[in-house]
Structure 1
Amino acid sequence: MSNDTGGCPAPFLSNALFTDGGFIEGRVCQALSPELTCCLPCPMTEWAYPDSFEAMNSAANWVAVASTVFCLFLLVSWAALPVDKTHRHYLSISLTTAVLFMNLGFVIPLAGNPDQCYDAITPNSMSTNSMCAASGFFLIMGGWAGVMWVFLRSLSLHLQICWQLVVGRNFMWFSQALGWGIPAIGVVLAFVLSGVSFRFGQTCHINHKNSLADLWIPLLIFAGLTIIIQLGTFGYCIKVYLASLADNSASTEGSGMPSYTNSIRTMTPKQAYRRVRRVIALQWRGIAIVLIIIADVIFFSIVFVFQDNTIERVKNDMQIAFPWILCLASSGGDKSACLDEASPLVVNQATVGAVLFLLGMNGFWLALLLGRWSMVTGWRDLFTSVPNRNKREFVSVDARLDDFKNETRSYEMLSRDSGKAMDDSVTPSVVTPISPTHARSPLGSPMQNDYAYPSKEGRRTPDYFGNTARYHAPARSFSSPRPPQTVTWDARETYARAQSPHAEHDRYVNPLGMNRI
C-alpha cells in the first residue's frame, strides 16, 4: 500500500484525494470497501492501449486536416467558378459542408491540443473545456448532417429513377429544412440530455447517459432508411434491365423515347432501360459517395456503442476487469505487461484506427467523385484571363478590324477580276449605314435609311431590300380568275427618276436589273 495513492494499489488513486470538479461520471472507479474507492488514472486510453495509440490518433487527425483542405477547395470552386466548370448542385454543396463539419471535430483538437483531464482521475467535459464543446459540436453536427444529406440524395435519385418525378424547387426547400433542421435538433438534444466529454482520444464524444435515445438510434434509423431506399433503387434498375433483355419489340429500336412524351407509362422496357441508364450515368458519383459515407457512419456508430457499453459494464461489474486490474496492481502500473488482459475490455487498436482514418478520408472521396478536372482548368483560366482582359481594354479599333478580318465567320470581299480574296492592304468590308446626304442611287435620287456594301472600286450599291422596302401584290397576277387590272406606277416607290411629260423618248430602266450581266 502506498500513502500517495490514498490506500489504493499503484497505479490506482483514491477517489477521496480529489474534488468534485470535472466530469465525475467519466471516472473509472471501483469501490473496494465502504471507505475506499480506487480509480484508474485519466485518460483511460493510455492504460488500455499501447503507446502507439496516440501516434495513430494524431496521424488520423492530420488526415482529417488534408480532407478539410479538399472540402474547402470544392466549396470555394463551387462559389467562384462558373457552373459549366463545376456542375455544382445544392445536394453536393450541402454534403460537402457536412463532411467539413465532421472533419473540424478532429482538426480543432489537433490545433489546440487541449488537456483531456480535469485532474488525475477526472476527464474534462464541455462545461470545463471550450475545445471539448467545439469538437463535440462539430463531430455530432457533421455526423447528423452527413447522414441526412446522403439520405436526401438517395431519396432524390429514387424519385427520379423509380417514380419518374422531376425534383424541383419544392424538393430543394424541403431538403434544406430537413437536412439542417434535424441535425440542429439532434445536436441540442445530445448536448442537453447527454453532453460530451473526452472519452476516446483528443476529440470529445457523447456521454453514455441517454446516448442511445438521443443520438445513436435516430442516426441509425436514417442510415437504415438510406440503405433501404438505395437497395430499392438498385432492385428497380435490375428489374428494368432484365425486362429490356426480354423486349423484342422492333418499335423501340429506332427511338429511345416513348410515343407520347407526356406519358411515361407508355414506355416499353427498352425505353425505360435507356432512361434509367442515362440517369445512372449522370448520378453514379452521388451513388458511390452515399454508400461510402453511410458505411463510415454505421461502422463508427457500431464501434463506439460497443466500446461505450463495455466501459459501462466494467464500471458496474468489477469481475469483468478483475484480471486486468490484478495485473496492473501486481506489476506496479506497468501497462505493457497487462495489454493482453486489457484487450477483451476495449476495441482493438486496428479497428479504432480504421474508424478514425475512414472518417478522416471522406473529404478525399468527395474530391475524387464530386470534383472535376475542369475545376483546375477553371482556376487556371480565371487567373490567366485577368491580365488579358486588362490588355484588351486599350486595343484600338484598327486592331479590332484585324481580328474581325481573321475571324472565320466574317465576310470576305472577293476581287471581281480574279475571284480571290483581297489582299491585306484593303480595309475589310463592314456593313455600315450610310448617310442619306451622301448615298444616292445610280439614277440620282437619294436613298433614305438604307445600307450600302462598299466594293473594291468604291462604288456603292443600294440595298433595295432594306427595312423601307414594301411588298406590293403583282398587278398582272392571273392565279385566280379575275380580269386584268390597270397598271399604275409611282416613281417614288422605285427610286427611279421621275418621267417628265416633255421626255416621252426616255426609256424605262428597271432598277433591280441595273447590275445584270
Structure 2
Amino acid sequence: MSANETFGCFHPFLNVKAFTDGGHVDGRLCANFPTNEVCCLPCPVSKWIYPDSFETMTTTANWVAVVGTVSCLFLLISWAVLPVDKTFRHYLSISLTTGVLFMSLGFVIPLASEPEQCFDKITPNSMETSSICASSAMFLILGGWAGVAWVFLRALSLHLQICWQLVVGRNFMWFAQVVGWGIPAVGVVLAFVLSGVSFRFGQTCHINHKNSLADLWIPLLVFSGMTLIIQFATFGYCIKVYLASLADNSASTEGSNLPSYTNSIRTMTPKQAYRRVRRVIQLQWRGIAIILIIVADVIFFSIVFVFQDTTVEAVKHDQSIAEEWTKCIVLSGGDKAKCLHLAGSLAVDMPTVGAVLFLLGINGIWLLLLLGRWTMFEGWRDLFTSAPNRGKREFVSVDARLDDLKKDTRSYEMLSRDDSGKMMDESVTPSVVTPISPALVRSQMGSPTMQQNYSSSSQSGGNDGRRTPDFFGQTARYHAPARSFSSPRAPQSPQQHTVTWDPSETYAPPRGAASPPPPPRNGDRYVNPLGMNRI
C-alpha cells in the first residue's frame, strides 16, 4: 500500500485521489475525514461489515443453487423426452421452471468462474468492466421477472377456471407466452439501461440503487401483489362455495357430481359447485403451493434489497450514522472483529442476507418436489431398460416357436412354415395369422387378390356349395356380398327402387321353381342344416 493511497486517511481507509474513475464509482463507501480528505473503505465492502463466515455462506448458497439448477434441468429434460402420461407436462409448468432455471444460473455462473469483485482497491466491478457480472445479473433479473410473471399467469388461470367457469385454451396460451416472456425481457432492458448492475455483496452482481425502485422493485412488488390478490380471491370463493354446500340440504344433489343437465354450470347446486371446486383444487394444489412460495420469495427478496439500498444511501448522505463504527475500526487498527456489533448501521445483518440467498437458490428444489412425479423415474427406468432391447434381433426356428406356443395356451399367435422349411428370422415378418377384425376385412374386401382367393375357396368348399372362408390359411379370405351397404352409395332414383336379387346368391329357390324338396330321411348321407327346422 503506497503512501499516496493512505495520505490523509487512517488505516484501513484509502484516499480516493489515488484511484481513477473506472468501475462502479457509486459503489464506493467513502467519508470525509477531519483532514479534509475523502477516504474510502477497501473493496469489497462486505468484507469489513460482515464476519469471515460471510464468504462461506454465500458460497454455500451458490451450491444450493447448483442443486436447484440440476432439479430444473431434470424436470425440463423429462418433460421433453418422456411421454405425457409419465410427466403430466403443461406449458405453465415448463415456462415457470425455465424462469427459475435462469434465476439459479445467476448464482451458478459466478461459482464456476470465480470473478474478481473489485476494479481497484476501493471500486467494485460493474457490467461494463466484468462480463461475468453482466451475465450473472442478467440471468438473475430475467429469472426473477419470469418467475413473478408465470406465477401471476398460473394464479390467473386457476382463478378463471374456479371462479368464472372458463376453460382456458389456445388463446390464453398465446397470451401467456407474450406476457410471460415479453415483460421479463423489457424488465431486463430497463434495469440495465436505467440502473446498471455491479457487485454489491457476494460473487453475484445485483442491480444498483439508481432508479432501481422505479424499474425493478416496485414493478415486481406490484405483480406479486396482484398475484396474491387473485389467489386470495380464489380462496375466498372456495370458502364461500364450501359454506354454501354445508347449508344445502337438497336431496336431489346427494348422489350427483354433475350439473342437472350437460351445458348448465351456472345452475349447479351448491354441493355440485363444491364438488367441482374441490376436484380442481385436488388437481392444482401443487401449482397453488408453487405460487405462494415464489411470491413469498420475491416479496422478501425485494424488501431486503430495498432496505439495503436505503441504508447504504443514508450512510452516504449522513455520515453520523456510521460515525461510531468508523471510530471503532480506526482505533482498532482495522480489526473488524471488534466492531461487528456496530456494523448494523451500514448494512442488513448477515442472517437476513443469507436467508434471501438460500431462498432464491432453493426454488428449483421446490419445483422438483411439487411438480415432479414418481412416474418420471419410472419413465426413465422404462426408457433405459427398453433401449438396449430395441435393436436386438433374435434368431429362432419355427419349430421351437411352435413348441413354446403349445406350452402357452394363452397365446393366439400362429406361425406357419414356409415351403423350404428354412429358419425364419424375426426381423422378417412371418406368416402370422390371428382372428381377423371386421375393420381389416372391410379394408381388404376390395382387393382383387382377395376376391380371387375367395372364389377359389368357394369352389372347394364342400358338397353343399357353401362358401366357407379359410380364416387360418396363408391369406385371410373374404367374399364381398352382392348387396353390401358397408360404404356410402349415391342416392337412387325412384325407378331404381325395385328390389332385384340373384337366387344363386341365397338358399331361396329360383323363380318359377316348385317348393323345395322334403328333408332327407335319417338314413340319407347329407342333411341341410338350414332346412332342418322348416315347417
Query: What TM bracket, shorter-length normalisation?
Result: 0.7 to 0.9
Which residue does the alignment assign to 1:468?
481
Query: Secondary structure at 2:320's aligned position in 1?
Result: coil
Change (3 A) 1:318 1:277: same
Query: Which residue of 2 is the match for residue 443 of structure 1?
Result: 463
Contact 2:454–2:469 (Cα < 8 Å) also in 1: no
Q: Deviations over 1:445-471 (max 9, x none)?
A: 474xx633569xxxxxx99xx641759
Gap change, CA 1:252 and 1:387, over 3 Å in 2: same
Tell me if the contact between 1:208 and 1:308 (Cα under 8 Å) persists in the aligned partners.
yes
Once the two structures are superposed, the pairs formed by residues 208-287 of structure 1 within 5 Å of their partners are: 208-287=209-288
State the 1:67 CA deviation: 0.6
* Deviation at residue 37 of structure 1 after TM alignment: 0.5
* CA distance 1:151–1:408, change in 2 (3 Å): farther
Q: Is the CA contact (8 Å cut-off) linking 1:30 and 1:315 kept in structure 2?
A: yes
Identity across matched positions, percent: 66
Q: Which runs of 5+ in 2 are unaligned?
A: 415-431, 442-449, 486-499, 521-525
Q: Who is 1:452 aligned against? A: 470
Contact 2:23–2:129 under 8 Å retained in 1: yes
Deviation at 1:16, TM superposition (A): 0.4
Q: Which residue of 1 aligns with 2:157?
A: 156
Distance of 1:334 and 1:254 partners within structure 2:
76
Q: Any idea what SS the aligned residue of 1:321 has? A: helix
Question: 2:324 matched to which residue of 1?
Answer: 323
The Cα shift of 1:345 comes to 2.5
Q: For residues 226 and 396 of structure 1, what CA distance do their matches in structure 2 show?
A: 67
CA distance in 2, matches of 1:443, 1:507: 16
Distance (whole Å) between structure 1 residues aligned to residue 220 and residue 246 of structure 2: 40
Which TM-score applies when normalising by structure 2? Answer: 0.82
* Deviation (angstroms), 1:386: 1.9
Kindly indicate whether the alpha-carbon contact (under 8 Å) linking 1:405 and 1:428 is maintained by their aligned counterparts in 2. Answer: no
Amino acid at match of 2:83: P
Partner SS, residue 89 of structure 2: coil
- Unaligned regions of 5+ residues in structure 1, if any? 413-426, 456-461, 473-487
The answer as to 2:372 corresponding to 1:374 is no
Name the CA distance, whole Å, in 2 between partners of 1:141 and 1:400. Answer: 64
Partner secondary structure for residue 452 of structure 1: coil
Superposition deviation, residue 442 in structure 1: 2.4
Secondary structure of 1:30's aligned partner: strand
Judging changes above 3 Å, is the alpha-carbon distance between structure 1 residues 332 and 404 closer, same or farther for their aligned structure 2 residues?
farther
1:22-33 matches, within 5 Å, as: 22-32=23-33
CA contact (8 A) 2:286 2:371 kept: yes
| C-alpha displacement of 1:403 | 6.7
Q: Deviations over 1:247-266 (max 9, x none)?
A: 00001012111112212111
| 1:513 aligned partner, one-letter code | L
Letter in 1 for 2:530: G
Distance, in Å, in 2 between the alignment partners of 1:16 and 1:30 is: 13
Do the aligned residues in 1 keep the contact of 2:68 with 2:364 (CA within 8 Å)? Answer: yes
Give the partner amino acid of 1:468.
P
Number of residue-to-residue matches in the alignment: 477
1:350 to partner: Cα distance: 1.2
Q: Distance in 1 between matches of 2:89 and 2:174?
A: 17
Partner Cα distance (2:354, 2:471) in 1: 78
Is residue 493 of structure 1 aligned with residue 512 of structure 2? no
Secondary structure of 1:320 counterpart: helix
Tell me the CA shift for residue 387 of structure 1: 2.6
Task: Give the aligned partner of residue 429 of structure 2.
Answer: none
CA distance in 1, matches of 2:532, 2:35: 123
AA aligned opposite 1:11:
P
Cα–Cα, structure 1 residues 258 and 444, in superposed 2: closer, same or farther, change >3 Å?
closer
Alignment of 1:12-23 (within 5 A): 12-23=13-24
Matched, 1:513 2:530: yes
Letter in 2 for 1:436: S
The answer for the alignment partner of 2:127 in structure 1 is 126
Rounded Cα–Cα distance in structure 2 between residues aligned with 1:189 and 1:490: 86
Shift of 1:56: 0.5
Q: Structure 1 residues 282 and 336 mapped into 2: Cα distance closer, same or farther (>3 Å)?
A: same
Please report how far the alpha carbon of residue 384 of structure 1 lies from its aligned counterpart in structure 2 after TM superposition.
1.1
Q: Does structure 1 conserve the Cα–Cα contact (< 8 Å) formed by 2:31 and 2:40?
A: yes
RMSD (CA atoms): 3.4
Q: Tell me if structure 1 keeps the 8 A contact 2:405–2:411.
A: no
| 2:39 counterpart letter in structure 1 | C
How many Å apart are 1:241 and its aligned residue?
Answer: 0.4
1:96 alignment partner AA: T
1:390 deviates by 2.2
Letter aligned with residue 494 of structure 1: T
Q: Partner residue of 2:305?
A: 304
Q: Which moved more, 1:249-258 or 1:87-96?
A: 249-258
Q: Rate the CA distance shift 1:297–1:446 in 2: closer, same or farther, 3 A.
A: same
Letter in 1 for 2:470: A
Q: CA deviation at 1:31?
A: 2.3
What is the rounded CA distance, in whole Å, between the counterparts of 1:127 and 1:396 in structure 2? 74
> What is the CA–CA distance in structure 2 between the aligned matches of 1:153 and 1:400, rounded to whole Å?
58
CA gap of 1:439–1:103, structure 2 versus 1, over 3 A, is same
2:457, 2:470 within 8 Å by CA — same for their partners in 1? no
Contact 1:41–1:120 (Cα < 8 Å) also in 2: yes
* Residue type at the aligned position of 1:74: L
